[in-house]
Structure 1
């Protein structure tokens, strides 16, 4: 048991920081917002208190429908520091061994899992068995088999499973989707997604297959997969993919450095995408229709996301993504709200099926047919 504790503590200390944080600073200051006490508030425990969890926690100070009421970490010092900062009482602070006890805590409605990819599966199932809703960072799991088991566990427990697809709430992104749905672009023909950055520390968990489940595809390439789906407005029916690797020391067997992949859609539209851990300045979506185009650049960073068509910029207001995400998810869970773009576990599972097929295509060189369901 002590060895497992040390393992999780080591992960928590080194794992959760998002490597591109400095590239996407907050564009507007975050200020404390009063909760809307006329409506139910989603009480959230954060699991994994690293760099991205800190961003989420700060953003949640501006939420009107969600608040931090619990903390889960393998690092006692973090539990103490974060507990004092966010006014979480000691009785709502847990470690990775005892967090099943949240079943007895009425001050926790949901757990936001922000840990390495390989831990999502077991942690989601444990949270579901404790009767709490799950918000899981992307990718939802390291393969579709695990994703399906997570969905099944949440369905059995009668809790919701949502995935941290923050871009599906971003104003310029939703405006681009609206223009496509209204027909301004005409028949969609082509999508291009470019997502990548240089990975940095070669010893981090993101280039450890056992923890990450892969490489750039699991971390940054998934944005192009998910983006292709909501920008084109269809789910792909086939995929082909090619892997390129230049640094065999950092990117060992099973950890992808760069993957190019192509998607085909039922309408005949096609997509060409790039996922990489070896190039900076790649954060662009480009959607082409018969009548117009939408370019998003930056397309997935923390903001401000910018978009334009042939008629000029989209000009939607910038929002702090994690604030909007958590308020929207509170409404999904508590009010039964149907978001414009779904963020449920089924969407996460479909992305995992595509990722599985991409890896198969890289190995075999063959086109992979997709049945996403």
Structure 2
């Protein structure tokens, strides 16, 4: 590669884990010029090779051990394993000198999330977490309004979402593999939307309730006999700066919506609805539907619709492209683990509070 400009240098990528989300990563990498998937690892014998052949990754090497994959000359890796297996491949990749794009949720425990951030800092290698909704240009509008001061002192935020019916299967519904259910699967998106707009204030305490009436009912889920995660959760989270966060999420319910996301401030309020229709919609894993600013103008209570930026951006592809660009340009992580560890701390707090049936404090070390 001598004589090539940095812009033309091929970025060599490894994929760890070859499930459904890995296919989405492959599709994105294939759209990026001068990016090449050179290796795939999966612990199940033969699965990595099958994945390579099925996805036309000519020349890529197959491994059954991610550590063997990390011995290759790689620029970056996508960690696409089940949630419970996020931690070890990530820290091993960082210590092996690779840049890491880790699928959400960050981890299954707060301790794992903190350790990943520490290793990233110790090694100087990038740890970026896969929250593709950030690449909707309307998310920038929301953050800019909240950060602009137009709302005054923001004191209350309500976020989350609910599917009338939209429960996944397989690894998503088994605690031993997923760590958590709806909170980790789609709730993390809602948290990122709100916390990113606020500038990621530190969470202080959580009082929460969770249930799984739908997932454990054979009338509603074909894997009810092994469904042992939450399909509904609600929490009051106290944030630094005197902000109360009402967080709620549901995979299934007898209701059409759990409401819009709202930011209430002393000088104004912001209401945001998600785009999409149907039983799997109503959560913040896709596009923005509407944005409305509530404020007073010359003593009149006024509602100002904020124009939505219509786009055909493939948000998932943008996430992967930004990761590759960050590697090429030597930039810091597009969605840094230092932020998402707060997201993980809230989910951890929700699960602890629900189990103990009381409010719990969130204790975070200095990062």
TM-score category, normalised to shorter length:
0.7 to 0.9
Do the aligned residues in 1 keep the contact of 2:144 with 2:197 (CA within 8 Å)? no
Query: What is the deviation of 1:41?
Result: 4.6
Query: What is the deviation of 1:38?
Result: 2.9
Q: Are positions 1:223 and 2:189 aligned together?
A: yes
Matched position secondary structure for 1:311: strand
Partner in structure 2 of residue 243 of structure 1: 210
- Pair 1:83–1:286, CA change in 2 (3 A): farther
> Aligned to 2:306, which of 298, 301, 312?
312
Bigger CA radius of gyration: 2
- Pair 1:127–1:38, CA change in 2 (3 A): closer
Partner in structure 2 of residue 89 of structure 1: 59
- Pair 1:345–1:41, CA change in 2 (3 A): farther
Do the aligned residues in 2 keep the contact of 1:172 with 1:306 (CA within 8 Å)? no
Matched position secondary structure for 1:174: helix
Q: Are positions 1:355 and 2:347 aligned together?
A: yes
More displaced 10-residue stretch of structure 1: 149-158 or 253-262: 149-158
TM-score (norm 2): 0.78
- Give me the whole-angstrom Cα distance separating, in 1, the residues matched to 2:194 and 2:28: 27
- Give me the whole-angstrom Cα distance separating, in 2, the residues matched to 1:216 and 1:258: 7
Do the aligned residues in 2 keep the contact of 1:134 with 1:160 (CA within 8 Å)? yes
Q: Are positions 1:329 and 2:323 aligned together?
A: yes
- Pair 1:65–1:229, CA change in 2 (3 A): farther
Query: What is the deviation of 1:362?
Result: 1.2
Query: What is the deviation of 1:37?
Result: 6.9
- Give me the whole-angstrom Cα distance separating, in 1, the residues matched to 2:71 and 2:226: 43
- Give me the whole-angstrom Cα distance separating, in 2, the residues matched to 1:201 and 1:137: 17
Matches within 5 A, 1:69-148: 69-73=38-42, 74=44, 76=46, 79-80=49-50, 82-83=52-53, 85-90=55-60, 92-95=61-64, 97=65, 99-106=66-73, 108-148=74-114
Unpaired stretches in structure 2, ≥5 consecutive residues = 218-223, 276-281, 293-303
- Pair 1:144–1:220, CA change in 2 (3 A): same
Partner in structure 2 of residue 209 of structure 1: 175
Looking at secondary structure, tell me which structure has more strand per residue.
Answer: 2
> Aligned to 2:19, which of 38, 45, 50?
50
Query: What is the deviation of 1:172?
Result: 1.0
- Give me the whole-angstrom Cα distance separating, in 2, the residues matched to 1:185 and 1:52: 38
Partner in structure 1 of residue 264 of structure 2: 288
TM-score (norm 1): 0.77
Number of aligned residues: 331
